Copies of this chain bind each other. A is one copy, B any other.
Amino acid sequence: MNVSSKPERTRLSAEDWELAALHLIAEQGVGALAVEALARQLGVTKGSFYWHFRTREALLQAALERWEQYGEREVLGQIEQIADPRKRLPELFRRVAHELQPHRVYAALLKALDHPQVVPVMARVSQRRMEFLTTAYREAGLPAPQALNRARLTYAAYVGFLQLNFTLGLPRINHEEFDAYVEHMIATLIPA
């Protein structure tokens, strides 16, 4: 009990800073990413930070790239293994709806689209997801142009939902009602 109260007294690596940065972004947004605040949270001081990174901007960049690389497979990787294209979209909807935690960073980044560093990342990620949705709709039986528009609509609904329920607390929809909403989405957006 003499060494430290809570944090493990191991030394830090650049990866630790990046993960902590992503965590902070998910909780308080990109604007709250300050080096002294992060350092406090990690139990060290700025001196540590500026050994690992040249600047605050560099940390943001590294964190964003890490998120883009390692964060995407969790979302889309599993889904691609579902053989039946017919079942794929409903399954995707239900999983996304019930595992909202990985989407917190995306929601936070969505609110920082005025920041020059996040725009290209979000553009790539969103574009990739959109393409995934589009082909999924085509495989589900929609003709090409309709599939694209349906993907746009679906993805917009996803993004809007994140905003309205994470950040804003619209009449705090409860659990059963939420499930009903998801099924309504499936019935409305996915062709029979």
CB nearest to A113 among chain B residues: B167
A84 at the interface (CB under 8 A from B): no
Give the complex CA separation of A111 and B153 in angstroms.
20
Contact across chains for B150 and A159 when beta carbons are under 8 A apart: no
Interface of A is mostly: helix
A: number of interface residues (CB 8 Å): 40
Give the complex CA separation of A170 and B126 in angstroms.
8
Interface members, chain A 164-192 (any B CB < 8 Å): 164, 167-171, 180-181, 184-185, 188-189
Give the complex CA separation of A29 and B110 in angstroms.
13
Contact across chains for A153 and B110 when beta carbons are under 8 A apart: no
Contact across chains for A170 and B111 when beta carbons are under 8 A apart: no
Given known A113-B168, A119-B168, contact A153–B145 (CB-CB < 8 A): no
Closest approach, in angstroms, between the C-beta of A77 and any C-beta of chain B?
Answer: 23
Interface members, chain A 126-172 (any B CB < 8 Å): 126-127, 130, 145-146, 149-150, 152-153, 155-161, 163-164, 167-171
Contact across chains for B127 and A170 when beta carbons are under 8 A apart: yes
A28 at the interface (CB under 8 A from B): yes
Give the complex CA separation of A70 and B157 in angstroms.
28
Residue interface mask A73-115, B partner, CB < 8 A = 1: 0000000000000000000000000000000000000111110
CB nearest to A171 among chain B residues: B127
